[in-house]
């Protein structure tokens, strides 16, 4: 038997408060990498360790989610979103702040693993809750706004982390206390689901596989993987090196330019519900890859800072087309009883792309150079997007012919 559940109805007054907690949770989850990545050199100097050892602070956070997040989703489907989200927020905050008081790098890495598990759960459950509590155009709009908030955090946290690191290497970790604050507020505000659970273990997987269109879900997961491989491999890893090598920009200017995609990503994501009135999710996702591909190709070929800035804007537009639309499509595809599990796999795939993207691009760049690596990725993304649009057009044409016949 499948799982049936419903949420206790909540009033129009409660809805803005609930959305606020969900958005605040998104801001908490994106903090895990964004606020730490710019201070890795400071941590390296403070602890007298190698750059590769310092980078383990990122890997220790992202890797656990690749394996463990699907189990978090299954548990949330069984016992409720709130009962998983609130403890995850609290654990995220406590394990992050505890790093300030730890005198041992191995122990710090252990706390980052714990924090990464909690962070992956938060990232998965925010989108899941939006799918549970809202439907139709309102769901699409809120998922788009959630992606915008994620982009704002990704753009603003590096600057915040860099400024706080001027005080101490440990100062940025104090910001993780936000997780504790949101956990306390969420425990009072978030609606508590009522559910009756008759499906578990293998039966849960079988029932989910029967109710969710497998090939459509696999296509959306593949899109999410590609989006985050490009985001973390090309935009966050390679582009800073290109800006330094070709333009000799300061770290401040590099940070400012890297914030440009977040601006257009946020603006585009906020309009996702309107975009879906005119184009289907698969077409928007394919268009996102086309736009991403053009942006990467321009960055690799241009030697003009103005053209480069425009190309970085295209990065954000491409991500704004693709990322929130995949989340919206997955939510629409998934029955309520299995949304936690299906969306947690999405987060696991996302984390895998986040973890694999940087070393993949660095490996290619070590052979052909940074600009050529970005050019190859740009052409590949463009080809994938154009092929997707072509296949969709061909499929639509066949459907029309069959209907006429």
Q: How confident is the model at residue 3 (pLDDT cuts 50, 70, 90)?
A: very low
User: Rounded distance, CA 230 to CA 232, Å?
Assistant: 6
Express each pLDDT in 246-258 by its tens digit.
Answer: 888 776 677 678 7
DSSP H or E stretch at residue 195: strand 193-196
DSSP state of 16: H
- How confident is the model at residue 354, as a pLDDT? 79
Q: How far is CA 314 from CA 41, 108, 126, 264, 288, in A?
A: 30, 38, 27, 8, 9
φ and ψ at residue 195, rounded to 5 degrees: -150, 150
Is 348 within 8 Å of 67 (Cβ atoms)?
yes
Neighbours of 395 (CB within 10 A): 11
pLDDT at 51 over 80: no
- How confident is the model at residue 98, as a pLDDT? 96
Q: Which residue has the higher pLDDT, 291 or 2?
A: 291
Q: What is the mean pLDDT of residues 330-340?
A: 74
Q: Which two tokens stand for residue 75?
A: 């548990």
Beta bridge partners of 311: none
Q: Which two tokens stand for residue 249?
A: 């920009």
Average pLDDT over the chain, rounded to an integer: 81
User: Rounded distance, CA 45 to CA 42, Å?
Assistant: 5
pLDDT > 70: what percent of the chain? 86
Q: Which residue has the higher pLDDT, 163 or 183?
A: 183
Q: Give the chain's length.
A: 405
- How confident is the model at residue 5, as a pLDDT? 44
Beta bridge partners of 195: 5
Express each pLDDT in 341-397 by its tens digit.
Answer: 777 778 788 878 877 887 888 888 889 988 999 999 999 999 999 998 888 776 655
Q: How confident is the model at residue 203 (pLDDT cuts 50, 70, 90)?
A: low
Q: Which two tokens stand for residue 201?
A: 């273990």
Q: Return the CATH number of the domain spanning residue range 4-404.
A: 1.20.1250.20
Q: Which two tokens stand for residue 41?
A: 């050199």
Q: Where are the domains of the chain?
A: 4-404
pLDDT at 223 over 80: yes
Please indicate, yes or no, whether the overall pTM of this predicted structure exceeds 0.75. Answer: no
The tokens 């491409």 sit on which residue?
Answer: 318
Which class for 219: exposed (0-12), middle (13-18), buried (19 or more C-beta within 10 A)? middle
Lowest mean pLDDT among 6-20, 109-123, 172-186, 230-244: 6-20
Residues in contact with 369: Cβ distance below 8 Å, sequence separation at least 6, in sequence order: none
- How confident is the model at residue 86, as a pLDDT? 94
Q: What is the mean pLDDT of residues 56-66?
A: 83
Express each pLDDT in 263-279 by its tens digit.
Answer: 788 788 777 778 878 88
Count helices and strands in the chain by DSSP H and E runs: 17, 2
Give the CA-trace dihedral at 296, 298, 302, 308, to 10 degrees: -80
Q: How confident is the model at residue 174 (pLDDT cuts 50, 70, 90)?
A: very high
Q: Which residue has the higher pLDDT, 398 or 75?
A: 75
User: Rounded distance, CA 249 to CA 308, Å?
Assistant: 13
Is 80 within 8 Å of 337 (Cβ atoms)?
no
Express each pLDDT in 134-150 by its tens digit.
Answer: 877 788 788 878 877 87
pLDDT at 196 over 50: no
User: Rounded distance, CA 227 to CA 381, Å?
Assistant: 9
Residues in contact with 216: Cβ distance below 8 Å, sequence separation at least 6, in sequence order: 333
């Amino acid at each position: 038997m499948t799982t049936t559940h419903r949420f206790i109805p909540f009033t129009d007054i409660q809805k803005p408060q609930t959305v606020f907690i969900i958005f605040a949770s998104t801001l908490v989850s994106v903090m895990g990498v964004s606020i730490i990545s710019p201070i890795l050199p400071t941590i390296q100097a403070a602890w007298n360790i190698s750059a590769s050892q310092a980078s383990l602070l990122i890997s220790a956070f992202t890797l656990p989610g690749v394996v463990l997040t699907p189990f978090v989703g299954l548990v949330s489907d069984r016992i409720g979103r709130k009962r998983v989200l609130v403890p995850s927020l609290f654990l995220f905050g406590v394990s992050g702040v505890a790093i300030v008081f730890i005198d041992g790098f191995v122990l710090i890495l252990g706390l980052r693993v714990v924090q990464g598990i909690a962070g992956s759960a938060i990232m998965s459950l925010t989108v899941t809750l939006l799918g549970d509590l809202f439907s139709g155009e309102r769901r699409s709009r809120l998922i788009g706004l959630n992606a915008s908030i994620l982009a704002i955090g990704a753009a603003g946290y590096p600057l915040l982390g860099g400024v706080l690191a001027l005080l101490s290497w440990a100062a940025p970790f104090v910001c993780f206390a936000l997780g504790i604050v949101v956990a306390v507020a969420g425990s009072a505000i978030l609606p508590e689901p009522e559910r009756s659970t008759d499906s578990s273990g293998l039966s849960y997987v079988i029932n989910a596989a029967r109710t969710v269109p497998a090939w459509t879900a696999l296509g959306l997961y593949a899109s999410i993987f590609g989006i985050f491989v490009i985001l973390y491999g090309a935009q966050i890893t390679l582009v800073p090196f290109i800006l330094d090598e070709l333009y000799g920009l300061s770290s401040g200017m590099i940070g400012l330019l890297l914030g440009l995609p977040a601006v257009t990503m946020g603006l585009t994501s906020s309009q996702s519900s309107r975009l879906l009135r005119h184009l289907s999710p698969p077409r928007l996702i394919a268009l996102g890859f086309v736009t991403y591909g053009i942006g990467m190709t321009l960055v690799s070929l241009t030697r003009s800072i103005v053209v480069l800035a425009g190309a970085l804007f295209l990065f954000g537009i491409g991500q704004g087309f693709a990322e929130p639309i995949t989340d919206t499509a997955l939510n629409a595809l998934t029955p309520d009883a299995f949304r936690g599990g299906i969306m947690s796999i999405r987060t696991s795939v996302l984390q895998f792309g986040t973890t694999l993207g940087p070393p993949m691009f660095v490996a290619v760049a070590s052979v052909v150079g940074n600009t050529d690596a970005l050019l190859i990725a740009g052409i590949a993304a463009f080809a994938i997007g154009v092929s997707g649009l072509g296949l969709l057009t061909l499929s639509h044409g066949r459907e029309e012919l069959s209907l006429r016949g």
